[in-house]
């Protein structure tokens, strides 16, 4: 997600992710639109799960200056929120 939204995969990002207009003061400015689907199997797709997690990240993680700093911030966030399954080697 970090690479998509920081312009490293421009060809795909416009089709996979829709930016959400910033109308709230909470959260980060790179929030994405969460699509709604009627079929449950579609809700488990990467693009749906990743948007939900991305939108919940704090601004200092999303706006990191480098991939290294983003990964450090993401790991700390996942550990603090007790979210499992994203950093496990079984998912890589």
Q: Model confidence over 64-90: pLDDT tens digits?
A: 999 999 999 999 999 999 888 765 544
Q: Model confidence over 14-28: pLDDT tens digits?
A: 566 677 766 666 778
At 30 the pLDDT is 82
pTM: 0.70
The domain containing residue 29 runs over which residues?
A: 2-91
Number of domains present in the structure of the chain: 1
Question: For residue 19, what is the DSSP state?
Answer: B
* Nearby residues of 31 by Cβ (< 8 Å), 6 or more positions away: 19, 20, 22, 54, 55
């Amino acid at each position: 997600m970090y690479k998509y939204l920081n312009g490293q995969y421009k060809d795909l990002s416009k089709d996979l992710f829709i930016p959400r207009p910033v109308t709230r003061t909470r959260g980060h400015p790179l929030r994405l639109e969460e699509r709604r689907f009627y079929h449950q199997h579609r809700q488990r797709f990467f693009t749906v799960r990743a948007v939900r997690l991305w939108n919940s990240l704090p601004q200092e993680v999303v706006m990191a200056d480098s991939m290294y700093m983003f990964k450090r911030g993401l790991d700390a966030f996942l550990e603090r929120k007790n979210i499992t399954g994203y950093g496990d080697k079984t998912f890589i």
